[in-house]
A = this chain, B = another copy of it.
Amino acid sequence: MPTPSGHTRAIRASRVIGTKVYNLQFEAIGEIDDVMLDKMSNDIMFAVVNFGGFLGIGEKYHAVPWSLLDYQKDKSGYVVSLTKTDLKNAPAQSASELTASDGVPARDEAMMLIGR
């Protein structure tokens, strides 16, 4: 089915990677670095988003739930309802740390962003 905004339902991982991420004020705040997949199930574990430049903390990555990323065609990017404070409070890690211990801690932390 088409999404409410008229897009198709399927998206290639290669097209997701590199896509800009905006906050609710439509300021560019980061970029999708990768998508973490679960080898043991059919689940997308989380998106790996680099907010480093935005936060002024260099190359650090956050695990962000896939469901939190709202693609907006006119921005050609994802809009997330996350503030600088949310991100500063959430664990920022190196890309390799996000996959340590099977990515499960990072996924659990990502889910906490929803429940804030």
Contact = CB atoms under 8 A, between A and B. Distances in A.
Contacts of A104: 1, 9-10
A34 B14 contact: yes
Interface of A: 1-3, 7-14, 16-17, 34-40, 42-45, 48, 66-67, 71, 98-104, 106
19 contacts: A8-B39, A8-B99, A8-B103, A10-B36, A10-B106, A11-B37, A12-B35, A12-B36, A12-B48, A13-B16, A13-B17, A13-B35, A14-B14, A14-B34, A37-B44, A42-B43, A42-B44, A42-B67, A44-B44
Contacts of A37: 10-13, 16, 35, 44, 66
Give how many copies assemble into the complex.
2
Nearest to A100: B8
Nearest to A101: B8
A13 B34 CA distance: 6
Nearest to A106: B10
